[in-house]
C-alpha cells in the first residue's frame, strides 16, 4: 500500500494489467468534451490532496505544507508537522487533515484546534467529508468509514460486512479510498476493489449502489479503481483512475458520459490523481508527478 502511494514511475512488472492496455489509452477526440484552461504550479513535496471550500478557495496539501489559492493566485500558506493524505474544509472554514492514522483540525491560519485519537496503528486516513451534523472519515488501512460528530465522538462504523445492512465490505488493495457528500447530502463511498459506488445512510445501511467493471471507457478495471472521485452540480460523478491514467464523468446512475482528461495528458504510471469541483462545475485535477493543479472546463 505504501509503495503504491509513493511510486509514480513506469514499472510494468508492478502492474499485471499493463500488458494489454496500451490500445485503451487512445481515446476518440469526439469523446473528450473538456479542455484544460489553466494550471497552478505548487512547490509542495509529495503533492497528494486537493479540496475546494464553499467560496471556491482551493486548498492543496501533501508533505508538511498546506497552500490556499483563489483562482490562480496563492493567498496563504502554512507548514504542518507531517504529511497530509487528505484534506477537507467544513462550511465554517475549519481545515480537516488526515495525518496518516488520525485527524487534525486547524483554523484558517494553520493553528491546531484539536487532534483526534487514532483508531489503531493500521489506520491510513485517505478521505474526509462533512455535512451539517457529521464527519465521515475513510480509513484505507482498516477498510472502513468512521462516522463522527464534530466533537470527535465515534458514532458508528460504515461499510463493514453486514448482510442485514446490505454491506458486502470494502475491498481496498491500495491506498485509494474516497468519499463524497452528494447534492442531496447523501454519503457516497467508492468500493475500489469492486469498481463500485455505494450510497449509505448515517447508520451504515446501504441505500443504493452501482458498479462498472470494464477495460473500456464505460467502466473501471484493475485491482482498485476509481482511485478518486468528485461530483458535479447535476449529480454526475467525476472519476480518476490509475493504471489507465484518465479522468471521466459518469451520470448519477453510473453510465459513461464523457472524458475530461485522456491518458496522454499524464506521465505514464501517474497515480493519485485527486479531484475537486468548484461552484461553476470546473474540474480541478491534481497531477502529483508534475506537481500542479490542472483546471478543466467544458468545451
Cα→Cα distances 125→9, 64, 229, Å = 24, 16, 16
What is the value of pTM for the model shown? Answer: 0.93
Task: Decide: residue 230, CB within 10 A, 0-12 exposed, 13-18 middle, 19+ buried.
Answer: buried
Per-residue model confidence as pLDDT tens digits over 92-138: 999 999 999 999 999 999 999 999 999 999 999 999 999 999 999 99
Instruction: Check whether 13 has a pLDDT greater than 50.
Output: no
> Would you state the pLDDT for residue 25?
82
pLDDT at residue 159 greater than cutoff 90: yes
pLDDT score, position 16: 45
pLDDT in tens, 176-225: 999 999 999 999 999 999 999 999 999 999 999 999 999 999 999 999 99
What average pLDDT is seen over the chain?
93
Domain that holds residue 92: 2-298
d(CA 184, CA 235): 9
247: domain CATH number? 2.120.10.30
pLDDT tops 90 at residue 4: no
Q: What is the pLDDT of residues 15-62, one digit of tens each?
A: 444 445 677 788 999 999 999 999 999 999 899 999 999 999 999 999
How many domains would you assign to the chain?
A: 1
Q: What percent of the chain has pLDDT over 90?
A: 90
CA gyration radius for the chain?
18
Amino acid at each position: 500500500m505504501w509503495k503504491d502511494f509513493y511510486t509514480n514511475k513506469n514499472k510494468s512488472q508492478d502492474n499485471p494489467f499493463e500488458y494489454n492496455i496500451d490500445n485503451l489509452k487512445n481515446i476518440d477526440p469526439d469523446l473528450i468534451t473538456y479542455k484544460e484552461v489553466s494550471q497552478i504550479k505548487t512547490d509542495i513535496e509529495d503533492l497528494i490532496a486537493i479540496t475546494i471550500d464553499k467560496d471556491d478557495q482551493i486548498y492543496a496539501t501533501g508533505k508538511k505544507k498546506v497552500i490556499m489559492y483563489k483562482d490562480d493566485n496563492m493567498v496563504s500558506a502554512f507548514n504542518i508537522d507531517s504529511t497530509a493524505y487528505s484534506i477537507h474544509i467544513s462550511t465554517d472554514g475549519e481545515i480537516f487533515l488526515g495525518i496518516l492514522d488520525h485527524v487534525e483540525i486547524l483554523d484558517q491560519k494553520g493553528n491546531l484546534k484539536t487532534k483526534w485519537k487514532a483508531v489503531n496503528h493500521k489506520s491510513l486516513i485517505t478521505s474526509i467529508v462533512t455535512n451539517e451534523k457529521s464527519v465521515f472519515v475513510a480509513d484505507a488501512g482498516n477498510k472502513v468509514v468512521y462516522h463522527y460528530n464534530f466533537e470527535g465522538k465515534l458514532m458508528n462504523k460504515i461499510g463493514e460486512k453486514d448482510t442485514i445492512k446490505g454491506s458486502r465490505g470494502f475491498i481496498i488493495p491500495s491506498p485509494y479510498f474516497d468519499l463524497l457528500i452528494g447534492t442531496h447530502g447523501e454519503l457516497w463511498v467508492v468500493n475500489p476493489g469492486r469498481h463500485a459506488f455505494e450510497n449509505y445512510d448515517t447508520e451504515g445501511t446501504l441505500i443504493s449502489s452501482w458498479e462498472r467493471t470494464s477495460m473500456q471507457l464505460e467502466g473501471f478495471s484493475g485491482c482498485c479503481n476509481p482511485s478518486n472521485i468528485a461530483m458535479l452540480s447535476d449529480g454526475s460523478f467525476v472519476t480518476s483512475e490509475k493504471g489507465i491514467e484518465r479522468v471521466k464523468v459518469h451520470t448519477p446512475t453510473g453510465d459513461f458520459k464523457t472524458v475530461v482528461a485522456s491518458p496522454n495528458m499524464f506521465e505514464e504510471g501517474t497515480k493519485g490523481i485527486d479531484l475537486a469541483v468548484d461552484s461553476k462545475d470546473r474540474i480541478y485535477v491534481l497531477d502529483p508527478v508534475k506537481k500542479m493543479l490542472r483546471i478543466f472546463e467544458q468545451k
